[in-house]
Amino acid sequence: MLTLSTTLRIRPFRLQAWAVLAVAWALALGAAHQARAELRIDITRGTVEPMPIAVSTFNADVPQDQAIGRDIAQVIAADLERSGLFAPVDSKAFIQRDLSVNTMPRFGDWRVINAQALVQGRVTRTADGGIRVVFRLWDVFAEEQMTALAFRSVAEGWRRLAHIIADRVYERITGESGYFDTRVVYIAESGPADRRKKRLAVMDQDGANHKFLTDGSYLVLTPRFSPTLQEITYLSYYNNTPRVYIFNIDTGHQELLGNFPGMTFAPRFSPDGKKVIMSMAKDGNTEIYTMDLRTRAVRKLTNHSAIDTSPSYSPDARRIVFNSDRGGSQQLYVMDANGGGVQRISYGQGRYATPVWSPRGDLVAFTKIQGGRFFIGVMRPDGSGERLLAEDFNIEAPTWSPNGRVLMYFRTTPRDDQGNGGSSKLYSIDLTGHNEREIITPIDASDPAWSPLIQ
């Protein structure tokens, strides 16, 4: 049983703080075991027909909990739908209206509406006023239970529970880890282009729980999540001095990172969260440095008269991909973590920028500029297998979902001479190049960065 402790608050994030009792919730419901191919989506294929799935309202005994049960089902269905891999069946089509977690579904009723999988659940109250949520995932055609779990949380934690359940469903059916229980930090934008107000903002990956973190009184750019803590590293023009800062989401505390003699920018955390790698520009020359967050020791990794920027570690922290114009134009290079062994990896037409190593290690995502158009693409870390996933007037700055299957980026539309028409919005797209979706934000948005899966 997976139990979430009562420390869960309105914006629960640290799963490691929760007591976790993870045992498959094996109610002996005696599902028929038929020899049959398991229900499965292969997400490595280009176009997959979304799998019809029924997500039934989680039932409950009292109206307050019934509302939570409805909301949970809606969040699960929305997560699964946005992934492009699932097609939730309209609940109006449901035939069986008396699902119970204690009895087998009438599978025939679900087959008739062509649901291949069924998610059901129940919400009850715990003695301390929290909620207990159980769910089951069924393979409708095999008439088998695929997974079942129970969770406990404070009542306000229902939305996060819904994301966690959606992740379990995604994992069980695709065989890949999910990415719904995650957040996105980004730059919220407003105002005319020449006086653009930019604020640090954070939200759940589906746009819920939106929060501004800075007030816009100074320019902020390029935030990135820590892999381990509720921290963001970003560029701030506080005091009109562009430097890398660290922002703690829990406390709101902002800290200047180091005491560098020039502009520091393009920060990212190392995979273990113990270092920040970034660029520093001094006397016009931009090099890549690391800073150890504990000892504050600074190390210079590049030494070249060219621009060296946008560094990103491989997930094993042994290599770094970065952007340099040392060959005459912006290209992607890989070097060892100590700065040695520099190799150019991009050789296609055009300029390449903003490389980001996939959390799976298998790919590098980038922005490409060619012929006056911008592209989002991926290539293997040795430069082979380049694939372009999206193209537009201006799209930029991909960030990986923690399972390495989805990219998010931003798209800017052109302005006329009066500055009208320019908008900036976030989008996500499958690694296959399909299923591009807008991520709805309250105002314009840029520079998204995906959090790791919440631990």
Partner 1 sequence: MRFKFLTIFAAVALLAACETAPDESASGSGTGDTGGATATSTTTSTAPSTMKQMGPVPGSQEDLIVNVGDRVFFDFDKFSLGADARATLAKQAAWLQKFPSVSVTVEGHCDERGTREYNLALGERRANSVKDYLVALGVNPGRVTTISYGEERPVALGSNESAWAQNRRGVTAVTGGAGS
- Contacting positions for partner 1 (CB under 8 A): 192-194, 196, 198, 219, 221-222, 235, 240-242, 262-263, 265-266, 279, 281, 283-286, 307, 309-310, 323, 325, 329-330, 353-354, 367, 369, 372, 393-394, 396-397, 412, 414-419, 422, 447
Closest approach of partner 1 to the CB of residue 99, in Å: 50
Task: Report d(CA 404, CA 250) in Å as an integer.
Answer: 26
Closest approach of partner 1 to the CB of residue 23, in Å: 46
Nearer to partner 1, 215 or 417 (CB): 417
Closest approach of partner 1 to the CB of residue 324, in Å: 10
Nearer to partner 1, 52 or 422 (CB): 422
Distances (CA, A) of 137 to 57, 80, 434, 438: 13, 13, 26, 28
Task: Report d(CA 431, CA 90) in Å as an integer.
Answer: 27
Nearer to partner 1, 120 or 309 (CB): 309
Nearer to partner 1, 141 or 260 (CB): 260
Asked if 85 and 170 touch (Cβ cutoff 8 Å), the reply is: yes
Nearer to partner 1, 100 or 241 (CB): 241
Nearer to partner 1, 99 or 345 (CB): 345
Task: Report d(CA 256, CA 175) in Å as an integer.
Answer: 41
Asked if 127 and 64 touch (Cβ cutoff 8 Å), the reply is: no
Nearer to partner 1, 49 or 416 (CB): 416
Asked if 253 and 260 touch (Cβ cutoff 8 Å), the reply is: no
Closest approach of partner 1 to the CB of residue 423, in Å: 12
